[in-house]
Structure 1
Amino acid sequence: MLEHIKAVLFDLDGTLVDSMWVWNDIDVEYLGRFGLSLPETLQKEIEGMSFTETAVYIKQKFSIPDPIEKMKEDWNAMAFDKYVNEVPLKKGVPEFLALCRKKGIRLGIATSNSRQLVDAIIASHGLTEYFDGIVTGCEVNRGKPWPDVYLETARRCGVSPEHCLVFEDIVPGMQAGRNAGMKVCAVADAYSVYQEKEKRELADYYIEDFTEITK
């Protein structure tokens, strides 16, 4: 899998960290503030969108009166403590990062989440020093499935796309990696289990967790 690979690029939520449950709770609580219930289809509708794109979509869909920046501030505040204290790494992540470093492979994160939360969670797990490039969807023109965030992460890592391997847990993210001209490994996650067949078809590789590689 790592042959000819010079950079490994990760999605964050559902890939490096087991955090998708956080956002279901936040969506319920946040919409409840406005007397709204969470539609079952919302997570599917916003998959791959950047933090800002998600705020714009939800503001329009539910006629939220708050400005976009206020919405994002509220979400960051609601998620911060959980990300720092409750969200675990996916199984085998520390060992896999160490293996990549040993092989001289550069590491990056390309996430739809906010910079505040990605910085907080990698710091809480002592992983900040591992990453050569971290890019959020809000720093590029278009979120996933467009390739922008992966291309920019590869650029910051100083590696051309054809030498990059992407790890992703959802179909739009995998499509973003594909659209960037990169190899893609699908990562199993409980919140995207309904996409397993499509993920396997899209992926060059599929893993249940990172111990499959480090073993």
Structure 2
Amino acid sequence: MIRGAIFDVDGTLLDTMPIWTNSGANYLASLGIEAEEGLGNKLFAMTVDMGAVYLKETYGLTQSCREIAKGINGIVEGHYFADAGFKPGARELLERMKAAEIPMAIATSTEKYCIEAAFERLGYKDYFDIILTCGEVGASKSNPKIFLRPLRNWVHRLKIPGSLRTASTQSKPPRRRALKSLAFMTRSVRRIKKKLNGTQMSM
């Protein structure tokens, strides 16, 4: 049974990965600098702020990290406000999970104002109980912190045991046991839809 879902956005719900893949190279190009091959792949797992540090250190940029991050966001933000659309199947999945009263949250490395603008424009912002960014929690998505935060909102709704409610403040061994007992699963939109097709969609 699917009790709750925490979604990534770029390349999962929204078809925005091509925008981000080229954002670093496009920013460098605006400065007359040619990017290294595969730069987009290197920046993929980073937050915008982390990517700004990488660009500054790697290419010896005179701009501050804050200026670089602002420049990158400036390149991509227009798409969220104007034309970023759903990935195939994503809209239907959100509709079905909403109808089944399955709580949903977002965990993303993209700036919150961009994510909110896109879902507001598409009419789906209210589908999510919480929208969290890596910048807010101070950790990348390789850290469980951003995925544990929504559980604070869902403690009573999902009947989460008290021992798990403080998982984000525990030391590493207890936190690992807590995460394991929560049975987090990573699934694509297609696989979640398939699961919903084969199971009763109730809490």
* Structure with larger Rg: 2
Equivalent residue for 1:200? Answer: none
Aligned equivalent of 1:65? 62
* Residue 170 (structure 1) aligns with: none
Q: How does 1:1-215 map to 2 (within 5 A)?
A: 3=1, 5-158=2-155, 160=160, 182-186=184-188, 207=190, 212=194
Q: Which residue of structure 2 lines up, in the alignment, with residue 198 of structure 1?
A: none
Identity score, percent = 26
Q: Distance in 2 between matches of 1:186 and 1:146?
A: 20
- In structure 2, the gaps of 5 or more residues are 165-178, 198-203
Contact in 2 for aligned 1:10/1:108 (Cα 8 Å): yes
Q: How much is the aligned-residue C-alpha RMSD, in angstroms? A: 2.6
Post-superposition offset of 1:101? 1.6
Relative to 1, partners in 2 of residues 1:71 and 1:145: Cα closer, same or farther, differing over 3 Å? same
Q: Partner of 1:184: helix, strand, or coil?
A: coil
Query: Is the CA contact (8 Å cut-off) linking 1:106 and 1:131 kept in structure 2?
Result: yes
Unaligned runs of 5+ in 1: 163-176, 188-206
Aligned length: 177
For residues 68 and 155 of structure 1, the distance between their equivalents in structure 2, rounded to whole angstroms, comes to: 33
Amino acid of the structure 2 residue aligned with 1:67: S
Residue 138 of structure 1 aligns to a residue whose secondary structure is: helix
Q: C-alpha offsets along residues 48-80 of structure 1, whole Å, 9 cap, x if unaligned?
A: 222222222222222222222222222222212
- Which has the larger helix fraction? 2
Q: Give the aligned residue type for 1:53.
A: M
Q: Deviations over 1:78-102 (max 9, x none)?
A: 2122222222101122221121122
Secondary structure of 1:185's partner? coil
**Deviation per CA, 1:121-170, whole angstroms, max 9, x where unpaired?**
111111111000111010123202222221223334445599xxxxxxxx
Taking the aligned partners of 1:65 and 1:146, their CA distance within structure 2 comes to 31
Question: How far has the Cα of 1:28 moved from its partner?
Answer: 2.7
TM-score, structure 1 normalization: 0.72
Q: TM-score normalized by structure 2?
A: 0.75
How far apart, CA to CA, are the structure 2 residues paired with 1:115 and 1:103?
26
Query: Shift in Å at residue 110 of structure 1?
Result: 0.2
Q: Give, in angstroms, the shift of residue 184 of structure 1.
A: 1.1
Change (3 A) 1:24 1:50: closer
Alpha-carbon distance in structure 2 between the residues aligned to 1:20 and 1:126: 21
Question: SS in structure 2 opposite 1:124?
Answer: helix
Q: Partners of 1:124 and 1:19 in 2: how far apart?
A: 15
